[in-house]
């Protein structure tokens, strides 16, 4: 059942207040990818247990599999059932059209990522399409996130080491961040400071000093997000929150916990074909990951209902 425009605007207003609270109180909000209902339940339980605000996010694949309005309804049902502060983010929306559809459905956060669909998109094209979504989002007040170029890695289990000399070539500069934010008009800027999508055999290393310079250079009201939060040493989350990161995306760690534990329970129960009866240990494993991230991000106890 869809939300009224009044309900949508009330939700987006609360989402904006959450982002400003995160800045004032120096914590980050976890944005956790929802592959399916089991993962959504795990996220909801963790948020309830730790009294933490959370974002649930969906990418192109989840939107295609579940449907935008179904995502909205599932999240709203969990919000009511668990009594939690929860919002939805469209993660790496590949087009203006899907971004607008998410806004229409009442998503409080929308990430338009033109380069996800076209790695060779020009700066002008990225800014033009991002700006179009920013203007459309004014209808509901949704927060729009953007980035000026393709972001490295993938939400998978990587076997190669991280080539930081190559990655550094794509790092955000303070001047570049300011120019993009002003040209595109986004609420949230996706920063690149060593963070990568996915899990790697070596720990990720973030350039916190660069983050500090970016935070000082851009408009004080601009928000910063950190993608590729999986497999990141926890102390970086603390430092990021202290230096103005309001939102951290986490996907691969949840997917890894889900799949490895699902494989385990299936192997241990070869004669059970009612898979629904096997899912509780899987949900608990994913919930433990979410709780760990919430603790590191400093958002425990920060929910406002």
- Supply the pLDDT for residue 58: 97
User: Could you tell me the two tokens for 60?
Assistant: 């192109």
Share of the chain above pLDDT 90, in %: 81
Domain that holds residue 205: 5-297
Q: Do the domain assignments include residue 133?
A: yes
What distance in Å separates the CA atoms of residue 253 and residue 261, rounded to the nearest whole number?
12
Q: Do the domain assignments include residue 291?
A: yes
User: What are 178-205's pLDDT values in tens digits?
Assistant: 999 999 999 999 999 987 766 666 678 8
- Supply the pLDDT for residue 199: 67
Contact in structure between 133 and 110 (CB atoms under 8 Å): yes
43-47, 234-238, 297-301, range with the lowest pLDDT: 234-238
Distance in angstroms between the alpha carbons of the first and the last residue of the chain? 22
Three state DSSP letters for the chain: CCCCHHHHHHHHHHHHHHHHHHHHHCCCEEEEECCCHHHHHHHHHHHHHHCCCEEEEECHHHHHHHCHHHHHHHHHHHHHHHCCCEEEEEEEECCHHHHHHHHHCCCCEEEECHHHHCCCCCHHHHHHHHHHHHHHHCCCCCEEEECCCCCCEEEEECCCCCCHHHHHHHCCCHHHHHHHHHHHCCCEEEECCCCCEEECCCCCCCCHHHHHHHHHHCCCCCEEEECCCCCCCHHHHHHHHHCCEEEEEECHHHHHHHHHHHHHHHHHCCCCCCHHHHCHHHHHHHHHHHHHHHHHHCCCCCCCC
What distance in Å separates the CA atoms of residue 228 and residue 235, rounded to the nearest whole number?
15
Mean per-residue pLDDT for 29-56? Answer: 98
CATH number at residue 119: 3.20.20.70
User: Could you tell me the two tokens for 145?
Assistant: 């996130």
| Mean of all residue pLDDT scores within the chain | 93
User: What are 117-161's pLDDT values in tens digits?
Assistant: 887 889 999 999 999 999 999 999 999 999 987 666 556 665 566
User: Could you tell me the two tokens for 158?
Assistant: 């990587």
- Supply the pLDDT for residue 158: 58
Q: Do the domain assignments include residue 304?
A: no
- Supply the pLDDT for residue 150: 65
What distance in Å separates the CA atoms of residue 248 and residue 224, rounded to the nearest whole number?
9
What distance in Å separates the CA atoms of residue 9 and residue 138, rounded to the nearest whole number?
10
- 61: closest CA among 100, 93, 20, 24? 93
Q: Do the domain assignments include residue 17?
A: yes
- Supply the pLDDT for residue 205: 82
- 202: closest CA among 224, 182, 234, 232? 232
Q: Do the domain assignments include residue 305?
A: no
Per the structure, how many domains does the chain have? 1
| pTM as predicted | 0.94
**Is it the case that residue 300 has pLDDT exceeding 80?**
yes
Q: Do the domain assignments include residue 248?
A: yes
- Supply the pLDDT for residue 170: 80
**Is it the case that residue 175 has pLDDT exceeding 60?**
yes
User: What are 91-117's pLDDT values in tens digits?
Assistant: 999 999 999 999 999 999 999 998 878
Q: Do the domain assignments include residue 36?
A: yes
**Is it the case that residue 32 has pLDDT exceeding 90?**
yes
Share of the chain above pLDDT 70, in %: 93
- 293: closest CA among 46, 34, 21? 46
Q: Do the domain assignments include residue 303?
A: no
**The residue to which tokens 């795990």 are assigned:** 42
């Amino acid at each position: 059942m869809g939300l009224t425009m009044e309900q949508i605007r009330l939700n987006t207003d609360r989402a904006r207040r959450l982002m400003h609270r995160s800045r004032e109180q120096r914590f980050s909000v976890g944005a956790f990818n929802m592959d399916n209902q089991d993962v959504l339940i795990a996220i909801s339980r963790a948020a309830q247990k730790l009294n933490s605000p959370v974002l649930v996010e969906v990418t192109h694949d989840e939107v295609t599999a579940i449907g935008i309005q179904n995502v909205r309804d599932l999240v709203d049902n969990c919000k009511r059932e668990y009594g939690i502060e929860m919002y939805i983010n469209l993660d790496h929306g590949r087009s203006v059209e899907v971004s607008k559809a998410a806004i229409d459905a009442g998503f409080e956060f929308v990430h338009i990522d033109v380069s996800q669909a076209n790695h060779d998109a020009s700066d002008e094209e990225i800014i033009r399409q991002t700006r179009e979504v920013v203007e459309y989002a004014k209808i509901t007040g949704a927060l729009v996130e953007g980035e000026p170029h393709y972001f490295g890695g993938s939400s998978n289990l990587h076997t190669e080491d991280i080539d930081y000399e190559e990655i550094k070539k794509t790092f955000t500069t303070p001047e570049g961040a300011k120019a993009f934010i002003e040209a595109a008009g986004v609420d949230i800027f996706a920063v690149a400071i060593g963070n990568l999508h996915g899990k790697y055999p070596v720990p990720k290393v973030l350039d916190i000093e660069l983050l500090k310079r970016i935070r000082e250079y851009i408009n004080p009201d601009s928000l910063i997000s950190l993608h590729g939060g999986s497999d990141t040493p926890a102390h970086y989350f603390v430092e990021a929150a202290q230096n103005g990161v309001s939102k951290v995306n986490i996907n691969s760690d949840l997917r890894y916990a889900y799949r490895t534990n699902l494989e385990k329970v299936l192997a241990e129960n070869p004669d059970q074909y009612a898979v629904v009866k096997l899912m509780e240990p899987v949900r608990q494993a994913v919930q433990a990951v979410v709780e760990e991230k919430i603790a590191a991000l400093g958002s425990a106890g920060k929910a406002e209902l």
